[in-house]
Structure formats: C-alpha cells, structure tokens
C-alpha cells in the first residue's frame, strides 16, 4: 500500500541574503548526506525563498542534488507586461512549482482581498503552478481550482502559540468535506517539539513552518518528524 503523501513547506519570508542562502544549503546538505533514504518520494519538501534568490536556490538544489522543490511567496494577479514590481506566472514557472497565495501577512499588510487573491490563483493555475492557499479559519473563501490549503490562524503566526491539533484537525476536516479540498496543512509556530500532534491527525497532511524553516538544522529536525523518525 502507498504511504500517504506528507508535505513540509518552509516559508522564508523576507529573510536571508545570498551568503545565508548558500550557508543554509550547505548545512541542509550535510544532514541530508547522513540520511539520504529519509527523503522518500512520499515526502514533498518545498522551500519558499524571496523572489531574488529563486535562481540561486535552483542552482544549489542541482549542485548539491537535494530533493527539494521551490515555491514563491507571491505571484502577480496579471500576466507578463506593464506591471511594475510584479512577478508574473510565466516568469515564476521557470523556477518554481508552488506559490503561496493569501498569506495573512499579505492580507493584513498589503490589504489583499478575496477578489485579488482569486486572480492570483487563476494566474498560478494558468502558469501550471500549484497554489498553496492560506486560510485563517474554515469560513475563509477558497477560490475554485485550489487543491492545497494551509490553515494558519493569524494569532499563531510567529507568536510561539499554536492552535491545538484537535481544532486544526477539525478545521482541516471541515474544509475537506465542505469545500472539496484534497490537501490541508497546518501553519502557525510549528516547531520540532509541537509538530507531532499535527502530524498525528488524519486530516492534516503536513505543515508550513516559517521561523523554524530558516535554520537548516531545525528544518531537518522537522523533516525527521514528518518522515516518522
Ligand atoms: C508562516 O510563515 O506562515 C508561519 C506560519 O510562520 P511561523 O511558523 O513562524 O509562525
């Protein structure tokens, strides 16, 4: 029987310069080399660096031969063209498989509303990118075409407080049943000492750590938990 696929998505936000990106990969690779068979195909490990470091991260993935994929933290709601400052799906698809859409930091600090997020999802799908759509609770609108949802209660992001695995599992269950979503992951202060509760819930398919993904050693610890070691 196939093992259920598990997802671990590291959101780097506006952190790291090129030296730090290189350091992260060097450290990550040193752990990976000691336990290569831990990263089986049923584990989907994706990091989300800033736009500027996607090509570098892509080069380092190839150079170190680590089974990581890339995602972007945002996407333009428009295609290529006269949209100063935006990065379009067709540009991103050169580097990434996934894109985070609707993160609460973008909803709150950049006033992104459902109608704009809908356009971003449409653009991602048009560019064959997989949207990782962030919801704050089970009532958040989810645009059609979304298959992966990250349940991230605002008060748990970067605060050290987590939702209970029971409540996160119940939100995941509700979204799967009522909105026909296939994959639900949990985000909000995930750390090595609290990840297991979320992974044990049958409706939670993985995690989206922010802060804990910045340190390659801590990220590797999280991966070990997801791999069940
Ligand atoms: C996030 O970046 O979406 C997040 C959940 O961050 P943190 O793990 O730091 O709370």
Q: Which atom of ligand 1 sits closest to the CA of residue 11?
A: 2
Ligand 1 binding pocket includes 157 (Cβ within 6 Å) = yes
Whether 90 and 80 have beta carbons less than 8 Å apart is answered as yes
Q: Is the CB of 77 under 6 A from ligand 1?
A: no
User: Which residue among 103, 105, 112, 225 is the active-site one?
Assistant: 103
Domain 6-226 belongs to what architecture? Alpha-Beta Barrel (3.20)
DSSP-based helix, strand, coil % in the chain, nearest 5: 40, 15, 45
CA distance linking residue 208 with residue 188, whole number of Å: 8
94 carries an active-site annotation:
no
Does residue 2 carry a pLDDT above 80? no
158-180: per-residue pLDDT in tens? Answer: 999 999 999 999 999 999 999 99
Instruction: Convert the pLDDT of each residue in 79-136 to its tens digit.
Output: 999 999 999 999 999 999 999 999 999 999 999 999 999 999 999 999 999 999 999 9
What average pLDDT is seen over the chain? 97
Q: Has this prediction a pTM greater than 0.95? A: yes
Nearest to 47 by CA among 182, 221, 210, 229: 210
pLDDT for res 26: 98
């Amino acid at each position: 029987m196939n093992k259920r696929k598990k997802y671990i998505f590291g959101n780097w936000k506006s952190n790291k310069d090129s030296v730090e990106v290189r350091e992260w990969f060097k450290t990550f690779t040193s752990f990976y080399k000691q336990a290569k068979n831990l990263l089986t195909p049923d584990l989907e490990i994706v990091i989300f660096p800033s736009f500027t470091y996607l090509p570098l991260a892509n080069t380092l993935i190839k150079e170190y031969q680590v089974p990581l994929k890339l995602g972007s933290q945002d996407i333009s709601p428009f295609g290529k063209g006269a949209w100063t400052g935006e990065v379009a799906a067709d540009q991103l698809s050169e580097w990434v498989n996934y894109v985070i859409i609707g993160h609460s930091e973008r909803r709150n600090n950049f006033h992104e509303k459902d109608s704009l997020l809908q356009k971003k999802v449409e653009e991602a799908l048009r560019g064959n990118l997989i949207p990782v759509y962030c919801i704050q609770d089970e009532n958040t609108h989810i645009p059609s075409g979304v298959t992966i949802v990250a349940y991230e209660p605002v008060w748990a992001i970067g605060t050290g407080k987590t939702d209970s695995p029971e409540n996160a599992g119940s939100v995941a269950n509700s979204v799967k049943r009522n909105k026909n979503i296939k994959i639900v992951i949990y985000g909000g202060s995930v750390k090595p000492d609290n990840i297991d509760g979320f992974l044990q819930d049958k409706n939670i398919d993985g995690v989206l750590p922010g802060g804990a993904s910045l340190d390659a050693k801590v990220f590797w610890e999280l991966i070990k938990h997801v791999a069940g070691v």
